[in-house]
Structure 1
């Protein structure tokens, strides 16, 4: 089966078939889909090296992961990669995945893949407020899409989850239960999502008519150990919070360690709501109320949008935001104690 056979079958020119299969922007999307589906049905398979010579594209999407990140083993990673791979495969593209052990290593690996033309564009997960990966790719005019947002959106396409909306909803939910001292534990200060979620928390306080108290912003936390420390620090305040929102689930799970050590109970004495939807949250006692992310869908959309970007779509046209989904469990309930009563109880405990 040749390209001429496909063209004859459809009654179009060889050039139209070639340009459609190679993603040229002058071919209408409906035409491209009709030709690509017909080519697949007829069994036409272009030679990848020949396509690369003609178009300058290797039909591969790049993804560089930092493996020493404190939360790099997030369970959603397998589903995320599955989503990226499936969407790429649907377009007859492949995925080039590499790893590095530091931010510098990620940038060096990214630059090497660009120089070696191992990928036509890149997915950038976990974006920073000031992201040097973005600067590298933007300077070299290499297509990319972010899983997240960044401080300077110039030339950026993205798919992101509205974590700020989730934190706003978490805060107003706790306020509706009767909590008036609601704290927030942010993620890493360098991450864009952390700033957005703090903003959502503050919007929730405002919507509930609760004054913002900067003392109720805990230390940044990405791990259980850091979440444990942040929870203890907040509960050591003269007027401790009776509820805490966490930017990430793994830090929230550390609150359970702190509660056990302080002889208090999550959901009864201190309510907790977090964000991510990691599987471990379902097995906590009580289960962790959280806002979950559909990581497979995120991977699919990122791959689909990146292919469109590579084919010439403007980055400003490729910006999507999706909602997180609330999973209600037992970690958030109406307060059993007032902040003053909780403070008195905590004073009787040790290791705070």
Structure 2
């Protein structure tokens, strides 16, 4: 009598690195390094190994990999809640890009927060100590960046969203904000403006110095002199933009156009202009930078330079993974352009701004 067949069967044996190596005729070490993207393995061999892994349905044990390599295949990102716009609306797009870029390479993203500068360092140390991040993406590079100093000291890989004056050992992705501000000046000069003011962003950040350089170079190319009285630094919020614009518009010879390093400051300029009976786009031209959604809801909509934050996040994730795989950090530096969005907040020069102020338009 034949035994009854059973529907129960033994689970398929898990495919191992040894199985892969035998099938490919390679050493286990070569297969392992190819799977982890090490640069000493040729791209052709890496592709061959990864195709075989798909054919054999090879699934690495993440815990075993972490023990063997000391890596958890996780990227770290620490949100600084003390920043003036830590909950900025474009953060969601940036994090989505980071997560997608990590996932494409088989990594995960660990997000933590620090509620003060004092706790920031402890957060980095704890994520590294607890094996929750192999390296870090650092948003908004600073001129003297204490995060860079700490991670250099800890010998932990990192990439910056922004550039550094001391570039040794630094990788980064950045948007060329200086080019955008330069273009904004030329745009206004072509419209006939010659008294062009500049309200810069936070001077502790690297972007502010670069955007200031862009303003100066744009004025030089347009054949215009920079009036120091029309340049205001270190303004990042709507209220600060409003106050800075009030100072500019109450000058004896006010500007007819204002270039702003960040959109929120530009929206503050709208308020200051409204208080003085000035119409944006006709009496006073304004440009911003960031491309935040709020700029589409004012009237007229803000002329600005938009940044693809999702793409920035994805590119930073991939740069950090390449650094983790052993590439020279100083070869991992990329930049991109912001997109000019020409809306209604700029127009031909009109002298109502000056006339209105001189006739008592400050009430």
Aligned position for 1:316: 330
Give, in whole Å, the separation in 1 of the partners of 2:348 and 2:331. Answer: 43
Partner SS, residue 98 of structure 1: strand
Cα separation, 2, equivalents of 1:84 and 1:29: 24
User: Taking structure 1 as the reference length, what is the TM-score of the superposition?
Assistant: 0.95
Does 1:112 pair with 2:139? no
Equivalent residues in 2 for 1:258-273 (5 A)? 258-273=272-287
**Cα distance in 1 between the residues matched to 2:29 and 2:58:** 15
- Give the secondary structure class of the aligned counterpart of 1:117: coil
In structure 1, C-alpha distance between the alignment counterparts of 2:308 and 2:122, rounded to whole Å: 30
Aligned counterparts, 1:265-344, within 5 A: 265-337=279-351, 340-344=354-358
In the TM superposition, residue 13 of structure 1 has moved relative to its aligned partner by: 3.3
Superposed CA RMSD: 1.6
Quote the Cα distance in structure 1 between the aligned partners of 2:55 and 2:90.
34
Q: Give the greater-gyration-radius structure (CA).
A: 2
CA distance in 1 between partners of 2:343 and 2:55 (Å)? 47
Deviations 1:106-153 (A, max 9, x none): 222112222333211110001110000000011222110000012211
Secondary structure at the aligned position of 1:245 is classed as strand
1:302 is paired with a residue of what secondary structure?
helix
SS in 2 for 1:195: helix
- 1:32 matched to 2:46? The reply is yes
* Conservation of the 8 A alpha-carbon contact between 2:191 and 2:347: yes
Alignment of 1:60-209 (within 5 A): 60-209=74-223
Matched, 1:348 2:361: yes
SS in 2 for 1:137: helix
Structure 2 gaps, min length 5: 1-14
Structure 1 unaligned spans of 5+: none
Deviation at 1:207?
0.4
Q: CA deviation at 1:211?
A: 0.7
Matches within 5 A, 1:11-26: 11-26=25-40
Q: What is the DSSP-based 3-state SS (H/G/I as helix, E as strand, rest coil) of the residue aligned with 1:130?
A: coil
